[in-house]
Chains A and B, each alone.
Chain A
Amino acid sequence: MSKGTLFDKVWDLHTVGTLPSGQTQLFIGLHLIHEVTSPQAFAMLRERDLNVLFPERTVATVDHIVPTENQARPFADSLAEEMMQALENNCKEQGITFYNIGSGNQGVVHIIAPEQGLTQPGMTIACGDSHTSTHGAFGAIAFGIGTSQVRDVLASQTLSLSKLKVRKIEVNGDLRPGVYAKDVILHIIRTLGVKGGVGFAYEFAGSTFERMNMEERMTVCNMAIEGGARCGYINPDAVTYDYLQGKDFAPKEAEWDRAVDWWNSLHSDADAVYDDVVVFEAQKIAPTVTWGITPGQGIAVDEVVPRADTLLEEDRPIAEEAYHYMHLHPGAPIEGTKVDVCFIGSCTNGRITDLREAAKFAQGRHVAEGVKAFVVPGSERVKKQAEAEGLDKIFLEAGFEWREPGCSMCLAMNPDKLQGDQLSASSSNRNFKGRQGSSSGRTLLMSPAMVVAAAVTGQVSDIRELL
C-alpha cells in the first residue's frame, strides 16, 4: 500500500469518513460539468428533492455538442439545442457559474479550468468526463465519473470511492527533437497497455516531466485514462506555480505565499512508498503514432504495423480486428499511409502551446491536395491568444480551416465528423472504432506537429524530416 505520496496526502485531507461498505467518502474540491453527462444528474436531484450542496464549487461550460462553424442559436441540431437549454436552465436554477459561448471563457472543460486557475494543486477534482485526469498535471487528484456520481457530487460534494494504488512512472532525460509530450504518453500506454493502469493512480515523475511546461504535463495526464489509470498526476513545482500565479482564481498576495507552502507540503515524500514503479528513458522515445483501434496500439513512426506473431497472444485478436478495420497490413510501414482528414484540437492538444508548435510547421507550407485539415482552438481564450499572435493567419494561409472552440472531431457529437472510411491524422486521444463520427472512420493518434506533417504531405510522415 502506498504511503507518503501526494495521492495519499490529498486523499487523507479530503476524507470525510468511511462508509458502511468500507469505501471512503471523499470531498470534491472542484466539480466541473458539461452538457452531455449532467442533465440526467439534475433530473435525479429533482426526483429526490435534493439541491446542490456547494453550488460555488461547481463550474459549467459547454463543449461536446457545440458546432465549430456556425454557433448561432438555436443550434441547427435540435437535440444539441435541447441539451444546451437544459444546462442553461439547470445552472440558473441551482446558482452554478456557467461559461457559455461568447462569454470569453467557454471551451473544452479540461482547458478552461486550468487556464482560469480553477485547477490547483492539492485539490480533488471530478467531472463527468474521463479526461478529467488532465487536471492532475497540477498535483490535483482528478478523475472522471459517471452521471449517477455527478448527482452525488451535486447533492453532497462528495463521492463514495475505493482508494487507488499508486504507480510511479518515471521518465528521465531529454526528449529527442521532434518528440513531444504526446509521444511520451503514447509510448507509456503502448508499453504498459490500455488496462495496465486499472486500479492505479499514475504519478508521473522524473526529469523529463520536470522539464515539461504545464500544457505538456496536461497532455500527459490527460491520457492516463487511456492507459487504464483513472487518475494521473505530477507533483507541483516552480513550473506549476509560475503558470498559476496571476490566474483569475489563483490565490493572491499573502494567500499566495501560504498556498505555495501548503502545496509544497503535499509533494510526494522522498521516501514515499509506491505500489509499483516503472522507469523509462526519454531518449528511447520516438515520434509515435497509433495504427490500430486502441490507444495502446502505437508504434514509432518509422516502425511497421506489427505482425500478430510478434505480439503477446492475448493482444492478437484485437490486432487482427484492427488490421481489418484500419485496412492496414501487418509488416507494412505506417509512414506513407495516405490521410484524408487532419484534426488539431481537443482536451489533449488544443492549447496555445500546441497551436504554436503546429503553426511553426505549417508556416510556409501548404495542406496537400485532397486533404481536409482544420484547427480547433480549445477555448475562447486560446482562440483569442492565437489570433493575437497571428497563428490563425498562418493556418489559413497554409490551407487549414480555423474554427470556433469545442471538442469537435475528437468525439464527433457535433457536425465535425469523418465520412465513410476516411482516415484521420488526429491530435486527439482516442482511436476507437467509430470514434470520430463514422462507423467505419479510421483514426491515427499523433502529436499536433505530426498532424501538420501529415497534412502538408498528405500521408503519415516523420516530423523529424521537417525539422
Chain B
Amino acid sequence: MVSEVRTMAGSGIPLIGNDIDTDRIIPARFLRCVTFDGLGAAVFADDRKALVGQHPFDQSQYQGAKILVVNRNFGCGSSREHAPQAIAKWGIQALIGESFAEIFFGNCVAMGIPCLTANSGTVDYLQKALAKRPQTPISLDLMAMQVHCGDFHAPVFMSEEPRNMFTEGTWDACGQLVAQAQQVRAIASKLPYMAWNR
C-alpha cells in the first residue's frame, strides 16, 4: 500500500494565478458522489468552461502532464479532498508552487502527492518554460530537493516531517496510527472529558 516517493519526472503543466481555491478546482456540484471515481474529467470544470478550450487542462500540448506548476496559496478554501483527487485522477503526480494552503497540502500528503514550494523566480521560470516548450521534461528530486527543467535547476522546499513521509514511504499514516491503539487508549483515559456524560 505504501511506497517511497523520492523522484518524479514527466512533462509539466503551468497554471497561473494566486489563491486558486478548491471550489474552482472542483465545483461543489461534483461532490454529490460517494466515491472519488470520475472526478478527473470535472477538474477545473467552470474555469475550463469559461476559457473555452484555452485552459491549460484542455490544451493539447499539456495532455499527459504529470507535474503541475502553480503560484501562491494554491488549494485554499474548502477541505474537500475531492480537489486533489480530481487533480490526481486527471494525471498529476506532483505539484510545485510558491505556496499551498494547509489542508490541501495535508490531503496531498495523505494521497502520496508531493507539493513542493519554490521561490517565485523559479516558479515563474518554470511556467514560462512550459508555455514556450511544453514538452520540456521536469523532474523533482525529494532527496536532493531540486527541480530540473531542461538545463535549469533550482532548489525546492518542503518541511522535514512531510518530506520524511514521502521519502520513507510513510505518507499513508493510517497503519502507523492504528498500530498505536493501546497507547491511544492510555492517553484517552487521562483526558477528563472522556468520562463526562458520554
Binding site for B on A (CB under 8 A): 13-17, 19-23, 25, 27, 29, 36-37, 39-40, 43-44, 48, 50, 53-54, 56-57, 64-65, 77, 79-80, 82-83, 86, 120, 122-123, 128-130, 132, 143-149, 151-152, 155-162, 194-195, 198-199, 225-226, 228, 230, 248-252, 255, 258-259, 262, 294, 296, 314-315, 317-318, 321, 411-413, 430, 432-435, 437, 439-440
Q: A65 — which chain B residues lie within 8 A by C-beta? A: 32
Residue of B101, B159, B195 touching A162 (CB-CB under 8 A): B159
Chain A residues, CB < 8 A from B161: 21-23, 162
Output the nearest chain B residue to A410 by Cβ-Cβ distance: B28
Contact A144 to B162, CB < 8 A, known contacts A156-B177, A435-B23:
no
B187 touches A15 (CB 8 A): yes
Q: Are B103 and A158 in contact (CB under 8 A)?
A: no
Question: Which of A27, A86, A412 makes the CB contact (< 8 A) with B28?
Answer: A412
The B68-126 residues at the A interface (CB cut-off 8 A) are: 72-73, 76-82, 84, 99-103, 106-107, 110-111
Chain B residues within 8 Å of A19, by CB:
170, 173, 176-177
| Residue of B with least CB distance to A434 | B46
Residues of A within 8 A of B192 (CB): 258-259, 262
Nearest A residue to B176 via CB reads A19
Residues of chain B within 8 A (CB-CB) of A159 are: 177
Which of B14-22, B59-67, B130-138, B142-150 is the interface stretch?
B14-22
**A16 B183 Cβ-Cβ under 8 A:** yes
Asked, given contacts A83-B34, A195-B101, whether A434 binds B80 with beta carbons under 8 Å apart, the answer is no
The residues of A that contact B17 with a CB separation of less than 8 Å are 317-318, 321
Count residues on chain B whose CB falls below 8 Å from chain A CBs: 68
What are 16 A-B pairs with beta-carbon distances under 8 A?
Answer: A16-B183, A17-B180, A25-B176, A40-B81, A50-B178, A130-B77, A145-B103, A145-B106, A146-B103, A147-B36, A149-B110, A159-B177, A198-B101, A258-B192, A412-B28, A440-B50
Measured between alpha carbons, how far is A43 from B103 in the docked complex, in Å? 21
Beta-carbon contact of B79 and A156 below 8 Å: no
**Could you say which residues of chain A place their CB within 8 Å of the CB of B106?**
145-146, 149, 161
Partner of B191, one of A27, A252, A432: A27
Top 9 A-B pairs ranked by shortest CB distance? A146-B107, A146-B81, A148-B110, A160-B173, A156-B177, A439-B46, A79-B32, A144-B79, A39-B34
* Inter-chain contacts of A147 with B (CB < 8 A): 36, 81-82, 107
The yes or no answer to B56 lying at the interface (CB within 8 A) is no
Would you list which residues of chain B between 171 and 198 have a CB under 8 Å from chain A? 172-174, 176-178, 180-181, 183-184, 187-188, 190-198
Q: Which residue of A lies closest to B29 (CB)?
A: A413
Partner of A432, one of B21, B31, B36: B21
Q: Smallest distance from the beta carbon of A322 to chain B beta carbons, Å?
A: 10
Distance from B104 Cβ to chain A, minimum over Cβ atoms (Å): 8
Contact B187 A433 (CB under 8 A): no
A339 to B164, CA, bound (A): 51
| B168:A56 contact, CB within 8 angstroms | no
Docked Cα-Cα span, A16 to B186, in Å, equals 9
**Is B27 located at the chain interface by the 8 A CB criterion?**
yes
Q: Which residues of A lie under 8 Å from residue B49 when comparing CB positions?
A: 439
Q: Which of B27, B29, B79, B194 has the most CB of A within 10 A?
A: B79
Known contacts A27-B184, A259-B192; decide if A20 and B81 are in contact (CB<8 Å). Answer: no
Pick the contact of B79 from A27, A39, A128 — CB < 8 Å? A128
Given A40-B36, A152-B174, A412-B28, A146 and B110 touching (CB < 8 A)? yes
Question: Which of B45, B79, B178 sits near A130, CB closer than 8 Å?
Answer: B79
Q: Given that A40-B36, A80-B32, A151-B174 are known contacts, is A432 also in contact with B184, CB under 8 Å in the complex?
A: no
Q: Which residues of A contact B43 (CB under 8 A)?
A: none
Bound-state Cα–Cα, A50 to B79, Å: 24
